[in-house]
Amino acid sequence: EIVLTQSPGTLSLSPGERATLSCRASQSVSSSYLTWYQQKPDQAPRLLIYGASSRAIGIPDRFSGSGSGTDFTLTISRLEPEDFAVYYCQQYGSSQYTFGQGTKLEI
């Protein structure tokens, strides 16, 4: 099973700042199958980025994804108050889907 490790566990920033979230895989992941989600308290996760770098419908362009192989990054260029949430990466490989443990983005 491919293990995804996200860092940092918690990221404390202010509105207007840039956020960089990391997702590292225990073995190589196809970029086509690396996805990012946002989850706010008491809500279901929401799709942000699929295929490592493609924004989902309705996602603002301040969100961007990059990376390949074992290292992937989610960047939020200028934080808005509504961006403070928990972010998860997810991959598909070897017929299994796995999630990272999440990064909490807090003010």
Partner 1 sequence: QVQLVQSGAEVKKPGASVKVSCKASGYTFTSYFMHWVRQAPGQGLEWMGRINPSDAHIHHAQKFQGRVTMTRDTSTSTVYMEVSSLTSEDTAVYYCARELEGTCYFDFWGQGTLVTVSS
**Interacting residues toward partner 1 by CB under 8 A:** 1, 32-33, 35, 37, 39, 44-47, 50, 56, 88, 90, 92, 95-102
What Å distances lie between residue 54 and 15, 24, 75, CA to CA? 24, 18, 13
Tokens of 69: 């192989």
Nearer to partner 1, 15 or 30 (CB): 30
Nearer to partner 1, 49 or 76 (CB): 49
Of the candidates 49, 3, 4, which has an alpha carbon nearest to the alpha carbon of residue 23?
4
Smallest distance, Å, CB 51 to partner 1? 8
Of 61, 76, 58, whose CA–CA distance to 22 is shortest? 76
Nearer to partner 1, 50 or 73 (CB): 50
Tokens standing for 45?
A: 């996760």
Minimum distance from residue 67 beta carbon to partner 1 (Å): 15
Closest to partner 1 by CB, 18 vs 97, is 97
Amino acid making up residue 97: Y
Q: How far is the CB of 88 from partner 1 (least distance, A)?
A: 6
